Amino acid sequence: MTSPGAPAAVTGLAIVGGGPAGMAAARLAVDHGADVTVIDEQPRVGGQILRQPPRGVEVTDWLPGAVYRNVRRTLAEIENDPSVDWRLRSSAVALLPQGNGHGVELWLDTPEGLQAVHAQTVLLAPGCHEQPLHFPGWTLPGVMGAGALQSFVKSQQLVPGRRFVLSGSHPLQLVVAEQLLRAGAEIAAVAFTQRPWAGLRLLATPMVALRAHRQLSAAAAAMWHLRAAGVPVLFGHSVVRARGEESVSAAVVAPVDADGHPDLRRAREFECDRIGVCHGFRVSSELARQAGARVAWSTRRGGWLVAHDAWYRSSVDRLHVAGEITGMAGADAALEEGRIAALGALRQIGAIDAAGAEALAGPVRRRLARLHRFADVLTRLSAPPGNLAAHLADDETLLCRCENVSVASFDRAVDDNAFIVTADAAKLLTRAGMGLCQGRLCGEQVARRLERRRGLATGAAGALHVNLPVRPVRLGAAVGDED
């Protein structure tokens, strides 16, 4: 084991992220004789969608259902393969491309301290995270992402609370509500920002055989179960405030219009101890950005997506990407993207020739094209109203919770310093986005608020620059602990 500064451990292909994309890529690369290292900060692979229970914990009936069939099969095919160098409980915190075919150095924060791995080529498949919503009270304990609530239920069959309100625009919240209900929770309400007809109109789109879309049919089935159990499912509504002293005691829910403007006179209060917010996802492109890869903004497809070519190569030499960081498209698409990216990486290190890669990629590309069409409908169906966060936040709402920057103080700084026109400059002046999460939670709102106040187009304020390490590391671990 080596640390940064000392000569690094060497591998052929380092895969960051053991979700669907990373697992499928690892399988294919190992089958072609590559030296593969898989890095994941979780104790077990499987990624977000599987979120496996820890080894030794028995969970009966763990993730039944057709939605998970393909990813579970891939998991079974790779998880116990000893030819993979597994680096679990290890976060990739820095990527340093060496340029000109010299590969990439990765820094890993591991239980044994900071270590360096030198890879001939890297595949980044770190997936996505939930998008928060900045409404008054969003930082109260008890306000969580719906997906975070789900991972408790998935991996430990644990109900993380008593009475829940779910609010958002993504159909995932129906699935989560139903899983919570089955696990014994009370669901006070589920609020969708969309009006029902908006979704129905899309569902009628003839070009897509939506009935075949497993995720949507799972959501529809969940809705019937919830309604049958007497849970109110409200359309055209959003949570607008969380109430509570130490933690959440109630959710205020109000109708919202198509721009996200709430009608507070018609607000209702639901007593609850948990609020699950479900406005979809933002891709975890911070490592790619730290390494200097080109990204492009897409509000609908997940934020700063990493740009790539037909082989899923990023703009940085020897840096390949797959899965959600190329655009939200779901687990099945992530599997296929992982396969194409692996073929691209194998070509790069000479483990497969161009014709061989092309032949294998053909059928994968066809499956992927179909999945991308489905994904496109799903992302359109689940888009939150454009300016919801801007309408909901009040002066005291925290814009950046890590650095305690309120909306009012941010706006004042922006108004007082007219020469600031980029998100990065706003961060430097206000500290918003400078904290532990490096702007994962607030970066988007920092940019949007600045753009609104300056009359700039969405995305014009640019992405926050990402510095290494992308996750905080105990300093003693970084320098090597004294014995």
Partner 1 sequence: MTSRHDVVIVGGGIVGCGAAFHLTRAGAKVLLVEQGDPNRRASGQNAGSMHFQLEHRLLEHGGERSAEFAQIIPLSLAAMEDWRGLEALLAADLEVVMHGGLMVAESDDDVALLEFKHAIESKWALPTSLLTGDEARRQATYLGPRVRAAGWCEHEGHANPRLVGPAYLRAALEQGLELATHTEVRGLERRGDEWHLRLATLDDAGHRVQEVTTRNVLNAAGAWMAEVARLAHLHLPVFAVPLQMNVTARSAPLIGHLVQHVSRRLSIKQVHDGNVLIGGGWPARFARDRDGGVDFAARPLPVAAHVRGNLGVAADVIPAVRELSWLRTWTGTVAVTSDQLPLLGEVPEAPGFFVAGGGSTFTLGPTCARLISRLILEGRSPLPIDLYSPARFSHINGFMASAG
Q: Is 83 in the site for partner 1 (CB under 8 A)?
A: no
Q: Is 72 in the site for partner 1 (CB under 8 A)?
A: no
**Rounded (10°) CA dihedral 274, 42, 61, 82:** 180
- Shortest Cβ 122–partner 1 spacing (Å): 15
**Kind and range of the H or E element at 466?**
none
Segment near ligand FAD (CB under 6 A); pick from 29-37, 122-130, 133-141, 249-257: 122-130
CA angle, 109 as apex, 37 and 106 as ends, to 5°?
50
Tell me whether the omega of the peptide bond preceding residue 469 falls within 30 degrees of 0, making it cis: yes
The smaller minimum CB distance to ligand FAD, of residues 13 and 39, is found at: 39
SS3 string, 400-443, reads ECCCCEEHHHHHHHHHHCCCCCCHHHHHHHHCCCCCCCCCCCCH
Binding mask 448-467 for partner 1 (x = CB under 8 A): ------------x----x-x
The CA distance from 345 to 312, in Å, is 9
Q: Residue from 250, 287, 342, 364 that binds ligand FAD (CB under 6 A)?
A: 287
Residue 294 C-alpha from the chain's centroid: 18
- Shortest Cβ 5–partner 1 spacing (Å): 4
**Residue 416 binds which one of partner 1, ligand FAD, none, with CB within 5 to 8 A depending on kind?**
partner 1
The smaller minimum CB distance to ligand FAD, of residues 286 and 411, is found at: 286
- Shortest Cβ 314–ligand FAD spacing (Å): 15
Q: What does the DSSP 8-state code read for residue 83?
A: T
User: By CB under 8 A, what part of segment 429-448 binds partner 1?
Assistant: 429, 431, 435-436, 438
Q: Residue from 161, 262, 323, 439 that binds ligand FAD (CB under 6 A)?
A: 323
Tokens 């655009």 appear where? 327
Q: Is 94 in the site for ligand FAD (CB under 6 A)?
A: no
Q: Residue from 110, 391, 421, 452 that binds partner 1 (CB under 8 A)?
A: 421
Which residue, 185, 177, 188, 180, is CA-closest to 222? 177
Residue type, 395: D
Q: Are 471 and 91 in contact (CB under 8 A)?
A: yes
How many residues sit close enough to partner 1 to count as binding (CB under 8 A)?
48
Q: Residue from 25, 316, 441, 446 that binds partner 1 (CB under 8 A)?
A: 316
**Residue 281 binds which one of partner 1, ligand FAD, none, with CB within 5 to 8 A depending on kind?**
ligand FAD
Binding mask 88-107 for partner 1 (x = CB under 8 A): ------x-xxxxxxx--x-x
Segment near ligand FAD (CB under 6 A); pick from 3-11, 41-49, 187-195, 304-312: 41-49
Binding mask 292-311 for partner 1 (x = CB under 8 A): x-------------------
The CA distance from 125 to 14, in Å, is 10
Q: Is 129 in the site for ligand FAD (CB under 6 A)?
A: yes
Which residue, 177, 355, 55, 315, is CA-closest to 346? 355
**Rounded (10°) CA dihedral 364, 369, 370, 374:** 130
Q: Is 312 in the site for partner 1 (CB under 8 A)?
A: no
Q: Spell out where 68-131 has E strands.
A: 85-88, 91-97, 104-110, 113-124, 128-130
In the three-class reduction of DSSP (H, G, I as helix; E, B as strand; rest coil), residue 180 is classed as: helix
The smaller minimum CB distance to partner 1, of residues 75 and 437, is found at: 437
Q: Give one DSSP letter per residue of 115-161, joined into a string.
A: EEEEEEEEEE---EEEPP---TTTTSTTEEEHHHHHHHHHHH-----
Q: Residue from 4, 12, 18, 344 that binds ligand FAD (CB under 6 A)?
A: 18
For 180, 441, 481, the CA distances from 183, given in Å and listed in that order, are 5, 29, 44
The smaller minimum CB distance to partner 1, of residues 116 and 398, is found at: 116
Q: Is 127 in the site for ligand FAD (CB under 6 A)?
A: yes
Segment near ligand FAD (CB under 6 A); pick from 280-288, 302-310, 405-413, 473-481: 280-288
The smaller minimum CB distance to partner 1, of residues 39 and 473, is found at: 473
The smaller minimum CB distance to ligand FAD, of residues 331 and 432, is found at: 331
CA angle, 44 as apex, 440 and 471 as ends, to 5°?
25
Binding mask 436-475 for ligand FAD (x = CB under 6 A): ----------------------------------x-----
Q: Which tokens is 442 given?
A: 């607030």
**Residue 276 binds which one of partner 1, ligand FAD, none, with CB within 5 to 8 A depending on kind?**
none
Residues with Cβ within 8 Å of 415's Cβ and at least 6 positions away in sequence, in order, are 453
The CA distance from 132 to 276, in Å, is 10
Residues at the site binding partner 1, with contacts judged by CB under 8 A: 3-5, 94, 96-102, 105, 107, 116, 292, 315-317, 403, 416-422, 424-425, 428-429, 431, 435-436, 438, 460, 465, 467-469, 472-476, 478-481
Residues at the site binding ligand FAD, with contacts judged by CB under 6 A: 16-22, 39-42, 47-49, 91-92, 125-130, 147, 150, 172, 215, 281, 284, 287, 323-324, 330-331, 334, 470
